[in-house]
Structure 1
Amino acid sequence: MSAIYVTANFKETQVGLIRAGQSVRLEVDALPDLEIAGRVDSISPGTGAEFSILPPENATGNFTKIVQRIPVRIAIDAPPEVRRLLVPGMSVVATVDTRNAAGELEEISSRTQ
């Protein structure tokens, strides 16, 4: 248990500024008075549906746009006494600090116009 992590499923509209290495604040529902630090370890190269055993087949004429979820792996930086309180399946709210990437999208946008 030297390396534990959270897999957060962010909406595709939320991952535009998420980068590996950014700091994350985790709030665990079972531990309301405790804030846990973490960092973005990796972002999945595809949505959760792309890697499922039975991916949804949307070629039925249904043109409703559905926001996909993209798994983001967050490494937990917590002391052992906090780690032992965490068990698989707990509900967590993850807040990623994306301030360092805010200007990046503006720069890309201005180059493509």
Structure 2
Amino acid sequence: MLGLEHFSHLEVVFLFDRIDPATVRGEPRPPRGDPDAEPVGVFAHRGPYRPNRLGVSRCRLLAVDGLDLHIADLDALSGSPILDVKPYLAEFAPRHPVTQPDWATELMKRYY
């Protein structure tokens, strides 16, 4: 963890361990189960029902205490297995304007 305390944000790779692999299907479905939304493929949304059950979340690093990381805004359930932690670097942010469909913008207004 040496040096991590100098970063404000992290990227965390975790496992959706509470998802039964047998329930993961590849057919398109509405984002967040919204019956009014058009179905999209598994890679067009960030839901937990993914073929590899891997999740990625960017969060704020509040403190480093030995091997413990104190964080905020992690989009994972408490106790989810953490597979990797990377410092977030501004240079890895998109270099071009970000676009997304209207349904994603609306969904994220109510997310956090």
> Smaller-chain TM-score range?
0.3 to 0.5
Higher strand share: 1
Task: Give me the TM-score of the superposition, normalised by structure 2.
Answer: 0.34
Which has the bigger relative contact order, CA under 8 A and spacing at least 6?
1
Task: Give me the TM-score of the superposition, normalised by structure 1.
Answer: 0.34
